[in-house]
Each structure stands twice: as C-alpha cells, then as structure tokens.
Amino acid sequence: MVGDTPIINVSDVLEYLFCPRFIYYIYCLDIPQHEERRFKVLKGRKVHEERRINNPEYLRKKLGVTHRETSVFLASKKHHIKGVVDEVLFLEEGKAAPLEYKFAEYKNKVFETYKHQLTLQALMIQENYNIEVNRGFICYTRSNNLIKEIDIKPSEIKKASQTIDEILQIIEKGFYPNKTKHKNKCIDCCYRNICT
Ligand code: SF4
C-alpha cells in the first residue's frame, strides 16, 4: 500500500484487460480464480529458463544491449504497480528496455495485452533506474526466439495509467464493472455461474 492506495500486480492489469469483472471477483468478493483458467491464451505460458536467450553477443549485435538483469522484481509507487520483469536490457544509446518472453508463436501482430504489459514494465524501470525507456521487446520462443520491438508511446502510457485508475476504482470503491464485450470469453469462465 502507498498511503491508502494499494499497489496492484502487473498481472492484475492483464486480468482486467481480459475481463474487468475478474478484478471485482478477486479483490472485492475474495473469490480466487482457478489457476488453470487464468486467461491462458493471451498470457502464454511462462518460458522455462532454458528457452531464454543465453547468448549476450546475440543481444548485443541485434539490439545493442550492453548488459542486462534477469527476473527483476520492481514496484512503482508513482503508478501503484509491481511485478517481475523477465529482463531489463541496458542499451548502447544510454536507455533501457524491458524484454518479455512469451511461450507463443508470432502471428503477424503483437497483442495489445503484450504492449500494455511492456508499457507498465517501462514505467517501473524508468522510476527505479532513473533511465529513459521508450521501447520494449517481446521474444516469441515458439517462433525461434523471434524478437519484436514495441514503441512505448505517450498514448500507450496514458492508456496504461487510465487502466490502473479504473482497477483502483474497483478495488477501493467496490465499483462493479461492465462485462467483457467478448461473450466467447464467458464460455469456460470460472465466474460464469455468479456473473449476472
Ligand atoms: S462470465 Fe464473462 S463477464 Fe463474467 S467474469 Fe467471466 S468472462 Fe467476465
């Protein structure tokens, strides 16, 4: 908590983006999700250590990485978020960038959820290392470790801040949010019996 305001997990934001009501059920009604149901498609399974890029020379040549830190737990008092960043990359240009591994194939488009996650990580890196972050990377381990670069634009940062505010409204004020617009997500949702 910072003052009276809670610090939420980056994973909470991803849950919220999948369906805003998850936050209400988890935080306001204290009904946890069944682990196996947790928005597995979008989240992608976590990558085992051996699937990570273990070749610093490759990263140096491809992305201009001078050094990196792995599995870094960070929190942002300013933005009320916390979470683990797979890798914090420090770049030749004097900036830093998050790298997130996804056990997923690249299918011509980076999910909005992934962009949101990188944006939140960028905010935490910026605050904790006092360094500029204006891009991030997703590594698709099922596409031969294909790396996609994402610009962290001011519009993305604004969107991410709004999402955090909306989540805090639910947690702090008990606001009951709208359902997801995508009814297919309800089919195997663990809350479908109580979600009116
Ligand atoms: S049943 Fe549908 S609207 Fe309700 S929590 Fe689940 S996904 Fe969201």
Residues above pLDDT 90, as percent of the chain: 72
Q: What is the pLDDT of residue 37?
A: 52
Give domain status of residue 93, yes or no. yes
- Confidence check: pLDDT of 9 > 90: yes
- Confidence check: pLDDT of 44 > 90: no
Q: List the CATH number of the domain containing 155.
A: 3.90.320.10
At 154-165, the pLDDT tens digits run 999 999 999 999
Give domain status of residue 43, yes or no. yes
Give domain status of residue 2, yes or no. no
Domain that holds residue 62: 8-186
Residue nearest to atom 4 of ligand 1 (CA): 195
Cβ of 28 closer than 6 Å to ligand 1, yes or no, is no
Closest atom of ligand 1 relative to the 25 alpha carbon: 5
60-74 average pLDDT score: 92
d(CA 135, CA 174): 35
Q: List CB contacts of 116: < 8 A, sequence separation 6 or more.
A: 13, 14, 17, 156, 159, 160, 163
- Confidence check: pLDDT of 190 > 60: yes
Q: What is the pLDDT confidence band of residue 36, given thresholds at 50, 70 and 90?
A: very low
At 119-152, the pLDDT tens digits run 999 999 999 999 999 999 999 988 988 999 999 9
Q: What's the structural domain count of the chain?
A: 1
Q: What is the pLDDT of residue 51?
A: 65
Give domain status of residue 193, yes or no. no
Give domain status of residue 194, yes or no. no
Q: What is the pLDDT of residue 45?
A: 53
- Cα 140 to ligand 1 centre (Å): 28
* Of 124, 60, 68, 79, residue with least CA distance to 101: 68
